[in-house]
Amino acid sequence: MAKQKKAPRPKAIPPKGFRDYFGSEVTERSHMLSQIAEVYHRYGFDALESSAVETVEALGKFLPDVDRPNEGVFAWEEEDSGWVALRYDMTAPLARVYAQHRNDLPTPYRRYAMGPVWRNEKVGPGRFRQFYQCDADTVGTASMAADAEICAMLADTLEAVGIDRGDYIVRVNNRKVLNGVLEVAGLSGDDKEEERGIVLRAIDKLDRLGVEGVRALLGEGRKDESGDFTKGAGLDDLQADIVIGFMEAGAATGAETVANLRNLVAGSSVGEDGVAELEQIADLLAAQGYGPDRIIIDPSVVRGLGYYTGPVYEAELTFEVKDEKGRPRNFGSVAGGGRYDDLVKRFTGQAVPATGVSIGVDRLLAALRMKGRIKSDAQGPVVVTVMDRDRMADYQAMVGELRQAGIRAEVYLGNPKNFGNQLKYADARQSPIAIIEGGDEKANGIVQIKDLILGAKLAQDATLEEWKARPSQIEAPRADLVAAVKKMLADQDADT
């Protein structure tokens, strides 16, 4: 009888395009999201948590660069309810939520949502299939005041998390203006839908590909560095020149930009409506004190998603970073959004105006780290060492007192025989303080409190006597443990 083969052990790796997040990364993200939520709350927005799984029908055909509803998403078929998928953004689920609960929600409805989204897309450096988004939307009003409010809130949010004024700019455009340009270029009509979609996505890649790269996508297409070919819109030179002229219509002032755009869309009613809406937004922002140092009109902003119907906006970080080849470049976009008046209509059959913005959480966190606004060496817990295994209750009492006082603390739970291992553990945990209470300390009613920030790293085989002899260690009455630890932590904060 043949010997049965053992089943191979599973590989301890995440699926392609996914990653794990540890301690400080999760803490940093949570802290930043709480800062963002504080701004959103101040603007009157309420939190919403919707399902991570939606029907493919509800998600719709709006994912960038795809042609089928379930392409680019993680989808599967349920026996009783058809195709479902993990959400690819926070906006499509909001449309479903509002349509379902609109009779119970205020109008307009302001909401923000934070959480992971999933996209079954090509993986690349820094590009994952699961990532965090942070959205804010207003549903139920067509007023340009809602769009102006989103732009103002976005600027305030960037400053609240630590991006200085001058290191970012919020750029505003209007999809209606682009539609007017496309109409002038002869790209209106149902038979030109595919070409229009390619043009929108091409313009949206201006900051990454430059004018010549976009021009290639407006024409026959473009091959990237990996050899992948992207189909172009097939425009002739005259049509491409009109689109490029639109992208380059930005001027020194908002008034000049608006004038350039008005000339470009002359004769197109939808284009002229878009220009008028941009003027309204600019006036409303100026009335609140948001000048061109924070928010500008920029025709190059298009946004790739097909559901935008009016104003669109994007937040770009303008400070310089080095790319993978050491070349200087601007950090780039960290947030974007716009008006999508037709999305809820898919469910209700009635037009429901809406506008919103989405922040790329991972990119914004990366920017804050580059600016030194987030410490990568997050402080660990105070570690209570174990000198006597039979006195674990005493050590748990200590850690309990520290926690009740609001101090992050833990008891060492490994093998206590080798004291050096406990010290190495404290170092690995980036602990600010270690607490020691051996038999002699217990008998005398004292504890040893070691400042690990001031102390040098311990040698692997350090003895208890060597540890106690270090000048950064103090002795305190057991009853004063919490007060002594608080003082040492305060001294450490003062030194940083």
Q: What is the pLDDT along the chain (496 residues), one digit of tens a residue?
A: 567 778 888 999 999 999 999 888 898 999 999 999 999 999 999 999 999 999 988 887 655 555 555 578 898 889 887 889 999 999 999 999 999 999 999 999 999 999 999 998 888 777 789 999 999 999 999 999 999 999 999 999 999 999 999 999 999 999 899 889 888 888 888 788 888 778 878 877 777 788 888 888 888 888 887 778 888 888 888 888 888 888 888 887 777 888 889 988 888 999 999 999 999 999 999 999 999 999 999 988 877 556 788 999 999 999 877 666 667 777 888 999 999 888 888 899 998 999 999 999 998 998 898 888 876 556 899 999 999 999 999 999 999 999 999 999 999 999 888 898 998 999 889 899 999 999 999 999 999 999 988 764 444 455 556 555 555 789 999 999 999 999 999 988 887 6
Q: Are residues 35 and 151 both part of a single domain?
A: yes
pLDDT at residue number 256: 85
Q: Are residues 317 and 183 both part of a single domain?
A: yes
From 370, 390, 407, give the residue that closes a domain. Answer: 370
Q: Are residues 438 and 484 both part of a single domain?
A: yes
pLDDT at residue number 375: 62
pLDDT at residue number 458: 42
pLDDT at residue number 132: 92
What distance in Å separates the CA atoms of residue 74 and residue 414, rounded to the nearest whole number? 41
The answer to whether the peptide bond before residue 292 is cis (omega within 30 degrees of 0) is no
What distance in Å separates the CA atoms of residue 275 and residue 262, rounded to the nearest whole number? 6
Tokens of 5: 């083969």
Q: Are residues 278 and 319 both part of a single domain?
A: yes
From 314, 348, 370, give the residue that closes a domain. Answer: 370
Tell me how far CA of residue 173 lies from CA of 166, 194, 338, in angstroms.
20, 22, 9
From 339, 370, 401, give the residue that closes a domain. Answer: 370
One DSSP character per residue, 156-224 reads HHHHHHTPPTTSEEEEEEEHHHHHHHHHHTT--SGGGHHHHHHHHHHHHTHHHHHHHHHHHHHTTEEE-
Contact yes or no for 352/344 (Cβ under 8 A): yes
Specify the amino acid at residue 447: V
Residue with tokens 């790796």: 13
Is 17 within the bounds of a domain? no
Is 6 within the bounds of a domain? no
Is 232 within the bounds of a domain? no
pTM: 0.80
Tell me how far CA of residue 267 lies from CA of 4, 196, 234, 278, in angstroms.
78, 19, 24, 18
Domain of residue 420 covers 382-495
β-bridge mates for residue 138, sequence order: 110, 355
- Spatial CA neighbour of 432 closest among 455, 416, 414: 455
Tell me how far CA of residue 166 lies from CA of 220, 291, 317, in angstroms.
38, 12, 9
pLDDT at residue number 70: 56
Q: Are residues 312 and 443 both part of a single domain?
A: no
Domain count, the chain: 2
Q: Are residues 96 and 170 both part of a single domain?
A: yes
Q: Are residues 352 and 387 both part of a single domain?
A: no
Is 65 within the bounds of a domain? yes
Q: Are residues 352 and 418 both part of a single domain?
A: no
pLDDT at residue number 210: 84
Phi, psi of 212 (to 5 degrees): -65, -35
- Per-residue b or e along 397-426, where b marks 16 or more CB atoms closer than 10 Å to that residue's CB: ebbeebeeeebebbbbeeebeebbebbbbb
Q: Are residues 363 and 276 both part of a single domain?
A: yes
pLDDT at residue number 376: 55
Specify the CATH number for the domain of residue 458: 3.40.50.800
Q: Are residues 366 and 465 both part of a single domain?
A: no
Q: Are residues 354 and 396 both part of a single domain?
A: no
Distance separating the N- and C-terminal Cα atoms of the chain: 70
Is 36 within the bounds of a domain? yes
What distance in Å separates the CA atoms of residue 130 and residue 19, rounded to the nearest whole number? 8
Q: Are residues 257 and 303 both part of a single domain?
A: yes
Specify the CATH number for the domain of residue 168: 3.30.930.10
